[in-house]
Amino acid sequence: MPRTSRLAAPAASGSSSERSLRLLARLAEEGRALSLAELASYLALPKATAHRLCAQLLETGFIVRGVGEREFAVGPALRKLALDTLNHDSVRGLRHELLADLVAQVGETCNLTTLDGAAVLYLDRVEAPWPWRLTLAVGEHVPLHCTASGKLFLALMPPAQREALLAQLKLPRMTDSTITSARALREECLKIASAGYALDREEFITGLVAIAVPVLDQQDQVRAALAIHAPRSRLSLEQAQSRLPALRAAAKRMRKLL
């Protein structure tokens, strides 16, 4: 069932810039590709006018074409704008401090990630003071199918959105433990949705394990994930799962900072 938009339906009048902003807001809120007909209907505009708006936004990278020729989705320029906003607003320091507190509790590196198209985007991270560490900078992407955060996002998204992504994902083998079939990944998603957390069992990098929990926004939508990762020689999967109470408490606090 499609979500009811919280944005008021616009009138047909309004400047081109206002229409463009409403179009972008609609795409960002829906979190999926929308057809030209859907966008035109929402904006109360003729399809030809909506198409001209889309053409302008395509040129600037704020939207991209979806799987279908007449479908449109959030583009890299809009994602960069959102990331820059998240990383420079007044609550960024509070989010980073929360991550630092979590690292102090669990003794391992902690990450804040979000879904970005067909990949996981790193929003922030705090390193634990260990000599062995995996360095991934804020703004970098990692795959969905073989990371704890990625599998969590897949598991908790609407089934139709998940199937659309699975139809596009290549599922390359990163390690001997990587899930490389859509059927097995679907089964994994069912287990994750039931458990409420996801594990990376050396699926992304040999010797590295991770655990992730969702961060919900004020409307109970999954907007981010908190994850811990560490070498298996230092943190077993059982030990990682013992950190769940701390992770979930931090995710509840993070909810107010999104």
pLDDT at 10: 45
* Cα atoms found within 13 Å of the Cα of residue 250, Cβ hemisphere only: 28
The Cα–Cα gap between 196 and 207 comes to 24
- Token readout for 203 is 């699926």
pLDDT at 2: 38
* C-alpha dist (Å) from residue 39 to 63, 65, 78, 153: 13, 13, 17, 26
* Domains parsed from the chain with CATH numbers: 16-75 (1.10.10.10), 89-257 (3.30.450.40)
CB atoms within 10 A of CB 165: 19
pLDDT at 179: 98
| Positions of the chain with pLDDT under 70 | 1-14, 67-69, 83-90, 132-138
| DSSP for the chain, written as a single string | -PPPPSSPPPPS-S-HHHHHHHHHHHHHHHTS-EEHHHHHHHHT--HHHHHHHHHHHHHHTSEEE-SSTTEEEE-HHHHHHHHHHHHHSTTHHHHHHHHHHHHHHHSSEEEEEEEETTEEEEEEEE--S-SS-----TT-EE-STTSHHHHHHHHHS-HHHHHHHHHH------STT----HHHHHHHHHHHHHHT-EEEESSSSTTEEEEEEEEE-TTS-EEEEEEEEEETTT--HHHHHHTHHHHHHHHHHHGGG-
- Token readout for 158 is 């609407």
pLDDT at 9: 45
* C-alpha dist (Å) from residue 116 to 40, 78, 82, 212, 242: 25, 11, 11, 16, 29
Given a contact cutoff of 8 angstroms between Cβ atoms, the answer to whether 144 and 153 are in contact is: yes
Question: pLDDT per residue over 130-168, tens digit each?
Answer: 776 666 666 788 999 999 999 999 999 999 989 988 988
Given a contact cutoff of 8 angstroms between Cβ atoms, the answer to whether 220 and 214 are in contact is: no
* Cα atoms found within 13 Å of the Cα of residue 16, Cβ hemisphere only: 8
